[in-house]
Structure 1
Amino acid sequence: MNKLVEVLPDQAALVQRALDVVLDKIRQAIAERGQCTIALAGGSTPKPLYEKLAVQDLPWRGIHVFWGDERYVPPDHPDSNQGMARRAWLDQVPIPTANIHPMSTDEADPAIAASQHEAELEEFFQVQPGEFPTFDIILLGIGDDGHTASLFPHTEALQVRDRLVTVGNKDGQPRLTFTAPLINHANTVVFMVAGAGKRHALGEIFAADADATTYPARLIQPQGELWWLLDQAAGEGIGG
């Protein structure tokens, strides 16, 4: 793993740096393999990044978009990660419909939906059950509690090692989420973290010794590059 930590002056600089990194990785993947696979994060921090991506001139036919986690709500619900990314970015660009791969939230049982999305990933990446595909880019954030994607502290999802997608749990509300091993197979993982409220969790995530079941973002140790992009409020006291 190649870990890179950058503390940017403010949130605008954080978003611009994330844009530079993501564009570089998209172009690199397309140059090498003819396509780029990117999994998106939800929340407010990456939304300005998506808005900037919406005005880029990119080879959209070669870009395939996924989500690292999803709240178990319909796509038109205000809390939907898919809905946010579509409004901010994907609906603004000529990306083929077939290149957008959301997590379905139609099933009564979220576990069935998780299995269905896992099967879709296996088919798209042409991997066998039990094998982990390699995403070019996975975007992540953290919560004040140290969670990432929908891997929340002291939940069963943290222990899942043999699946690509599982059911996360946030105060009794189900989520769909990539598992830690799937995230860790990525070529590039980019955390975008803003705000002083994240400072304590970051201290624990970066500590030499802390509990990953309490601070789940510690589980993310990808085989490729790990980028931590922090604004000054979040990153004060964090060494690069």
Structure 2
Amino acid sequence: VVTSRCDCDWQESVLLRGCRWRQQSSSRSRYDHESFPTNIDKGITNRIIRQTMNLKLLLLSCFAAGSHAFQAPRSTTSFIRTQQIYASPAEKVHVLPTESEVTQAVHQLVESCAKQAISKRGHFALAIPGGSVLKVLSSLDPSDDWVSKTTLCFVNHKCVDITDESSAIEAQARAKFLDRWGLTDIISLNGSSDGKKEADDYESKMKALPESKLPRDEDGFPVFDLSLVGVGDDGHIGSLYPNRDEIDIVDGPWVTAAFQKDPPSISLTLPVMQRAQTTVISAAGQSVKYPNGKAGAMRLAIADEAVTPKDFPASALRECAIWILDEANASEMELELSTVEKAVADA
């Protein structure tokens, strides 16, 4: 990715690998967000692929005539479904010896992100999924009074009665830890089976939150302080499943209905997942059926450059997420052991 001087005098925003690239009226292309690790030297060229509003691809080529300092956002994941994406940066993948250490790292990250957000603006916006993440959070005992300053949303949720512990993530989370924590500011579904209406209403509830509770970026998308995301064996994240239209949403809604299964679900869309200040994906534990846990899925999500977000949605988060795995779940990759402290510090 380069900054360059272009022979054009118009301004247009494009989404590239999670970054905002803008051709300014000054005829300079730059990143106008935060924290990219390096500047680009003179003479480098690069191709920029963008997704247009009607989801057609347009190839833009800019050739570097000079080097300009720039900054880019934390997220550098492609919004283009058919584009090749590269393996996750090594510093974003942490392999810990045991399942308990993975749990410990997630706990410390929740606490750390909460305290940082509250120190900055007085509130903490948290998004959680269901599944194994609920088990991880069930053993967390908050060490400070951040819970009373927390708003909770769901990454995904089935369109069912929210009190049904057999299928409702909210009911399961309440039983496992939310009621014990005393967390009451929860954005809930209505509890109907109408996927489209539930998605629309959930987005409306999120949009009703003031920015002091749920910040927005310059495009008006929500920015969670922390998003915990689970990954399925098939690569689904939230309720965004492979080769479904929902994964193609780029500029559209915050929340979408997903009809992969019955009953339907709602899910945060990919641009919302990618914009979180911190995204954590953890995988730990084994079973008789899965002696290496989700090792295959983790390899595809993190390291396989042949996959695309369309056929393996989790790969769309590889560059903006912190990945915390135990040794079993990292067994199909050659990665060095890390520590809990380093995983938390690198987030």
TM-score (norm 1): 0.88
Q: 1:175 aligns with which of 265, 278, 292?
A: 265
Answer with 161-170 or 178-187: which moved more.
Answer: 161-170
Report the equivalent of 1:215. Answer: 312
Q: How does 1:189-208 map to 2 (within 5 A)?
A: 189-194=279-284, 195=286, 196-206=292-302, 207-208=304-305
Query: Gaps (5+ residues) in structure 2?
Result: 1-73, 76-88, 287-291, 337-347
The amino acid that maps onto 1:199 is A
Name the amino acid aligned to 2:107.
L
**Distance between the aligned counterparts of 2:328 and 2:188, measured in 1?**
32
Report how far residue 55 of structure 1 moved. 5.1
Q: After superposition, where does 1:3-82 map in structure 2 within 5 Å? A: 4-43=92-131, 45-54=132-141, 56-77=143-164, 78-82=166-170
- Which of 212, 222, 227 is 1:138 aligned to? 227
Deviation at 1:227, TM superposition (A): 0.8
Deviations 1:94-143 (A, max 9, x none): 33x3x11123332x421011011111111114569x72011100001111
Distance 1:169 1:66, change over 3 A: same
Percent identity between matched residues is 25
Question: Which is further off, 23-32 or 199-208?
Answer: 199-208
Give the aligned residue type for 1:132. Answer: F
CA-based RMSD: 2.1
2:255 matches 1:188: no
Amino acid at match of 1:231: D
Q: Secondary structure at the match of 1:151?
A: coil
Summarize deviations over 1:188-223 as a string: whole Å, max 9, x none: 00101124242112222222231221211112267x
Q: Quick one: which amino acid aligns to residue 155 of structure 2?
A: G
Structure 2 Cα separation of the partners of residues 70 and 169 of structure 1: 12
Mapped contact 1:15–1:48 kept (Cα < 8 A): no
Provide the residue aligned with 2:324 in structure 1: 229
Q: Which blocks of at least 5 consecutive residues in structure 1 are unaligned?
A: none
Partner of 1:94: 182
TM-score in terms of structure 2 length: 0.62
2:221 match: secondary structure: coil
Higher relative contact order (CA 8 A, sep 6+): 1
Query: Which of 241, 245, 265 matches 1:156?
Result: 245
In structure 2, the residue matched to 1:105 is 191
- The DSSP-based 3-state class of the residue aligned with 2:153 is strand
Measure the CA separation in 2 of the matches of 1:192 and 1:103: 26
Question: Equivalents in 1 of 2:259, 2:99: separation in Å?
Answer: 29
Deviations 1:135-189 (A, max 9, x none): 1000011111111111111112111221100012334441110000011111000
The residue matched to 2:259 in structure 1 has which SS?
Answer: strand
The structure with the largest alpha-carbon Rg is 2
CA shift in 2, pair 1:156/1:23, >3 Å: same
Mapped partners of 2:240, 2:141: distance in 1: 28
Higher helix fraction: Structure 1 or Structure 2? 1
How far the C-alpha of 1:19 sits from its partner, in A, is 0.5
Change (3 A) 1:10 1:169: farther
Higher mean alpha-carbon deviation, 23-32 vs 53-62, is at: 53-62
Q: Is the 8 A contact 1:168 1:174 kept in 2?
A: yes
Distance 2:312 2:299 in 1: 10
